[in-house]
Amino acid sequence: MYSALAEAWKKPRESYIAELMRERAISWRRQPAIVRIDKPTKLHTARKLGYKAKPGIVVVRVRIRKGSGEKPRPRSGRRPKALGVKKIKRDISKQKIAEERVLKKYPNLKLMGSYYVWEDGVYKWYECILYDPQILGETKTD
């Protein structure tokens, strides 16, 4: 089963995944940026990262806005070449930003891993797998 899932996700435009995810993305846009979900969207990837359907393990979907990190336009005058507003690259990836936002919202949980789910013209969605160290014990590594 997991190999069939992995094959379908490798080329989503050629399988049933693209249409399914397009419909889901429409509803995801209306949801809050950080949403706790019952089951992972990409089960085969979540299992690789350590997900198991048992108490103490939580899956959270995070929505991140696409685009580069633009700086605010300077107040004082200078020539346009030296403004330094556009073409600014972020030091950390969108996935890392998603992980940090989730950990900020759920401070009592620890991160097991995260993975890319889908994107449209404006947003990217990632899913983070978290675990509760009080329920599962401190045997997991950070």
For residue 140, the model assigns a pLDDT of: 56
* Residue 42 Cα distances to 5, 74, 78, 108, 129, angstroms: 8, 43, 49, 25, 12
Complete edge-to-edge strand list for the sheet that includes strand 57-65: 34-37, 57-65, 123-131, 110-119
d(CA 127, CA 95): 9
- Is a pLDDT exceeding 60 seen at residue 30? yes
pLDDT of residue 123: 96
Q: Structural domains in the chain?
A: 32-136 (3.40.1120.10)
pLDDT of 130 higher than 60: yes
Token pair recorded at residue 124: 């990217």
Section 12-38 average pLDDT: 94
The Cα–Cα gap between 88 and 132 comes to: 37
Q: DSSP secondary-structure letter at 71? A: P
Confidence of residue 133 (pLDDT cuts 50, 70, 90): very high
Q: Position 88: which residue type?
A: I
